[in-house]
Amino acid sequence: MAVSRRPGPGVTTCGGRELRWGRRTYVMGIINATPDSFSGDGLGGDIGSAVAQGKRFEAEGADILDVGGESTRPDAAPVSEEEELRRVIPVIARLVREVGLPVSVDTYRYEVARQALEAGAAMINDIWGLAQEPRLAELAAEHGVPVVLMSNQRGRTCPDIVPQVIASLEESIALAVSRGVPRGNIIVDPGVGFGKTLDQNLEIVRRLRELACLGRPILIGTSRKSMIGLVLNLPPDQRLEGTAATVAISIAGGADIVRVHDVARMVRVCRMSDAVVRGRAA
């Protein structure tokens, strides 16, 4: 029997493509234009390698490419705005020209997002859910692009994690709407790994369905993360099976987009999970 799912939150257009929520799970391929990614796949300033990775992800079935220029692991050294621009803008500009997928920029800085959109990016992925830079909402509204709002608990104590994630996302949604972003262009992310304990990260995946109350599509990123390493006692490059398990469970819990490093394998996991969860082959 197919698992009952929430009423679909409609259709979102991204880079000229329609994302029809509820029909299947979309795959976001991670392109780390950093030298210090936690997952060991940082490409630094190698624009050619980043573009080649984007082309490979397209061939493997990705739906969106997410380009980031600053490592988001808890102990990572921050980079300057100038350095982040140097890392991501040339990559985005070439991906837009050479790859036929929408490109997302993973940033919380206004100027980086502005120049990325000017270079052709079609989505903003903000790990702070507008808390650091509310003007990102105005950029998204001006350019008519979707924005991913993450619940980030870094620097805060959260004894009851799921209600607090929901509350923070409600605040982010309200702020985005107040700055002109249509609700149909808002995607939410519970922020696995961002200020949560191992038990809290596992609880978020287990209770993901509760985010349906927000009425927006859900993006989740568990790929190669420390929660998997802590459970399985494995380094990032050996967390494929753990990632696959969390992706499948997340899809059963209502995830609409999964953000992953290993695109080819996770596309297969998504297709099989969709066939079971949605009651048909996606």
Residue 94 a catalytic site member: no
Share of the chain above pLDDT 70, in %: 91
Cβ contacts of 43 within 8 Å, gap of 6 or more: 31, 32, 33, 34, 49, 50, 53
pLDDT at 4: 40
Domain boundaries along the sequence of the chain: 23-277
- DSSP-based three-state secondary structure for 33: coil
Residue 225 a catalytic site member: yes
- Tell me the pLDDT band of 23, cut-offs 50, 70 and 90: very high
Alpha-carbon dihedral sign for residues 53, 84, 223, 1? negative
- On whether the 23-277 domain is CATH 3.20.20.20, my answer is yes
pLDDT at 246: 98
For the chain, what is the mean pLDDT? Answer: 92
pLDDT at 155: 78
> Which DSSP state fits 156?
S
Which of 216, 225, 265, 268 is catalytic? The answer is 225
- Tell me the pLDDT band of 158, cut-offs 50, 70 and 90: confident
Which of 259, 265, 271, 278 is catalytic? The answer is 259
pLDDT at 154: 87
CB atoms within 10 A of CB 221: 30
Q: Which amino acid, one-letter code, is at 160?
A: D
List, for residues 135-156, the tens digit of each pLDDT value: 999 999 999 999 999 999 987 8
